[in-house]
Amino acid sequence: MTIVTNQPTAGSEMRVEDDFVRLADPFRPEILAHCYRMLGSIHDAEDLVQETYLRAWRSYGGFEERSSLRTWLYRIATNACLTALEHRARRPLPAGIGAPHTEPEGDLSAIPPEITWLQPFPDVLLSPGISGVDGADPASVVAARSGLRLALVAALQYLPPRQRAVLILRDVLGWRAAEVATLLELTVSAVNSLLKRARARLADVAPDVEEVAEPTEAEQREILDRWATAFVEADVDTLMELLTDDAVYEMPPQPMWFQSAPILRRLLAFRLNKHGKHRRMFPLTANGQPAFAIYSGDDDRRLAAESVQVLTMRGGRIARVTTFRTPALVAVAGFPMALEIEG
């Protein structure tokens, strides 16, 4: 007698797992970028991607393909992010808190433990193969790179979580209102209402968030080379030439931020000359913007990771310097935590 059973065999389970990995992994970079836009933290985003893929893998056997696999993954990820945001405050940058500081020579060591700061997103994490993803769909990579500029992600933090999700899905990723309504289990009119409020709020807190006039690639390379050389050599005059007159300089997790040419000249002279450290800078890209991994040390042959510096360009000058003084972020960007310089 033959016994018929609906229990999956070990072989069928392996086939389901193999199918899931093959079909779902190419979407991992854009799901990571989506979680980062929602949360403002690369570490939290990576945790939520792991949770998303674990949930999806466990449920994949019952996936009925009523929507695309991509849409299904976005639904799981978005709901996971919304749950995570229920009891979390927004992640700001220093320039989003209070007025600019006017004493750059003061004590900059005070770090308020109650503030959880926005983090940068190293673009290397979107490269196929870097995060265990091979053969990523080019369209998926394009979607991942969209809407990652630091100012936009910082502005998104002002929005309530559901408004944030709607604005990202509609305005950043270009989803139709009906698709967003299905994903969030809302009516189309509710989605449109949330989007209207989100756009109005964004216009209030960051009216110029996407108005960025960047130099040509050749011009930008020259500017960045000059900036890195001047920063390492503590050449404050050259640094000031490269900054706009209204440039902003911030260094999370230090809460103070600074603006205006006279203040920034004092700040740079104080920070770069007084401490007298040896420095090296290595170029990278974060949030789709030029950036550097910075190392420093008392000995020019032994340098430790210090910070990730993200620059915002306006025309042929630098309008904003955001130096994330969290050494671990250097490793997230794919660099070692320490350097041994021979010779």
Does residue 212 carry a pLDDT above 90?
no
Q: Give the list of residues 6+ apart from residue 289 with CB closer than 8 angstroms, or none.
A: 149, 150, 310, 311, 312, 313
Q: Quick one: pLDDT at residue 107? A: 80
Most confidently modeled range among 18-32, 210-224, 270-284: 18-32
pLDDT value at 130 more than 60: no
Q: CA torsion 14→15→17→23, rounded to 10°?
A: 160
Average per-residue pLDDT for the chain:
88
How far, rounded to the nearest angstrom, does the alpha carbon of residue 217 sit from its chain's CA centroid? 22
pLDDT attached to residue 71: 93
Give the C-alpha separation, 36 to 332, whole Å: 14
Could you give the domains of the chain? 10-205 (no CATH), 217-340 (3.10.450.50)
Please check whether residue 150 is in contact with residue 289, taking contact to mean a CB–CB distance below 8 angstroms.
yes
Lowest mean pLDDT among 109-123, 201-215, 223-237, 289-303: 201-215
Q: Are strands 278-286 and 289-299 parallel, antiparallel or unpaired?
A: antiparallel
Model confidence at 138, pLDDT cuts 50, 70, 90, reads low
Q: Where are the alpha helices (DSSP H) in 110-170?
A: 138-145, 150-156, 161-167
Residue from 307, 315, 273 nearest 291 by CA: 307
User: What is residue 274's predicted lDDT score, i.e. its pLDDT?
Assistant: 67
Q: What is the pLDDT of residue 275?
A: 60
Average pLDDT, integer, range 278-290: 95
20 — pLDDT class (breaks 50, 70, 90): confident
Higher pLDDT, 204 or 127: 204
Residue 7 has pLDDT above 50, yes or no: no
Q: What percent of the chain has pLDDT over 90?
A: 69
Residue 112 in tokens = 């308020």
Whole-structure pTM value: 0.90
How confident is the model over 160-202, as pLDDT tens digits? 999 999 999 999 999 999 999 999 999 999 999 999 999 999 9
Query: What is each CA distance from 246 to 2, 211, 249, 252, in whole angstroms?
Result: 81, 15, 10, 19
Specify the higher pLDDT residue, 2 or 137: 137
| 225-247 exposure pattern, b = at least 16 Cβ within 10 A, e = fewer | eebbebbeebbbeebbebbbeeb
> pLDDT value at position 6?
43
> Which pLDDT belongs to residue 317?
94
